[in-house]
Amino acid sequence: MNLAFSQPWLLLLLPLCLLPYFSSLFERQATPTIALITADTVTIWLNRLIHLFAAMAIGSIILGLAGIHLLEQTVTRTGSGAHIVFVLDRSASMNETFGGETPDEDEQSKAKAARRILSNFVTNRPHDLFGVAGFSTQPFYISPLTEHKTAIQAAINSMETPGLAFTNVAKGLGMGLSYFKAQPHTGSRVIVLVSDGAATLDHRAQKTLREWFERYRVSLYWFFLRTENGQGIYSEPESNRDDNPRVMPERYLHKFFNSLSVPYHAYEVDTPESLQAAIHELDELESLPLVYQEKIPRQPLAPVFYFIALLCTLLLVAVKSLEKKA
């Protein structure tokens, strides 16, 4: 049994249970000779029972007051789900619409559209653990892998606030991968990169990312929020001269991701609807059996003890009312 008390210091009152053994519930009555009262077994046992009831009544109230409860328990269950880390682009351009303009009444910014859709996705996946990391020029740790939905939503909410500087994908991914360092390997592991741009990766970054993706076995989803008329993942270079990572970072980042040994899916998204469709596909793909911990919240036992105390007290009332009046 995992019993615990929320106010354990109240247990110091427990010696009060002994009170009934030191004093009697009944008035003393004088009797001419002791021979008139025989201490037969029934009387002795009745007396003991009455003491016991009184002690139980006092003790149960004290236990109840001390906040006795069953500890929160975690039960390991198997379901389907994933450990998902969102790596969110917080660069300034995310605040523009898919058309590359300042958002107005009819059109949402890319960040807002992404926030809304990710947030729905989180709500619909009950058993998944979600972590959130952000990046612009530098990565930042936002919230750890957790099943607390309110916290995950709060972290995704941050996308609504103004964006910062540039897009440094490598560092963001590194931060996202680091979330899996201390995680048990169960179910699918996914990094969802949501960005509206790409950047060149230097050799050092490429080597590290390749190593980490392999070590942690994390599959990668890239939701590329393409701006109208901007370059996309599948854009072909117009001339050989343009075919280099400086001019076409998206194309080269895609090539690099393809060369990783882990499953990789890229979605070029240019409307909120296509983002929804991409998320839907992720939802279907990432449902490997997952061992997850379900928490059974702690259960207060105080009412049970109050009930015991009530029963005992009622018995005492009955006994006391039967007392011979002087």
* Minimum distance, C-beta of residue 7 to other proteins, in the bound complex (Å): 9
- State yes or no: residue 119 binds other proteins (CB under 8 A): no
Give residue 181's identity as a one-letter amino acid code: K
Please pick, from the candidates 81, 139, 174, 176, the single residue that binds other proteins as defined by CB under 8 A.
139
The region of 32-40, 98-106, 139-147, 255-263 touching other proteins under the rule CB under 8 A is 139-147
The CB-of-324 to other proteins minimum distance in angstroms stands at 12
Residues of span 205-264 touching other proteins by CB under 8 A: none
- Mask for 62-101, x = binds other proteins (CB under 8 A): x-xx------------------------x-----------
User: Is residue 203 within 8 Å of 256, Cβ to Cβ?
Assistant: no
**Residue 144 lies near other proteins (rule: CB under 8 A):** yes
The site that binds other proteins (CB under 8 A) totals a number of residues, namely 57
Residues that bind other proteins (CB under 8 A): 13, 16, 19-20, 22-23, 25, 27-28, 30, 54, 57-58, 61-62, 64-65, 90, 132, 134, 136-144, 146, 148, 150-151, 154-155, 157-158, 160-162, 164-166, 302-303, 306-307, 309-310, 313-314, 316-317, 320-321, 323, 326
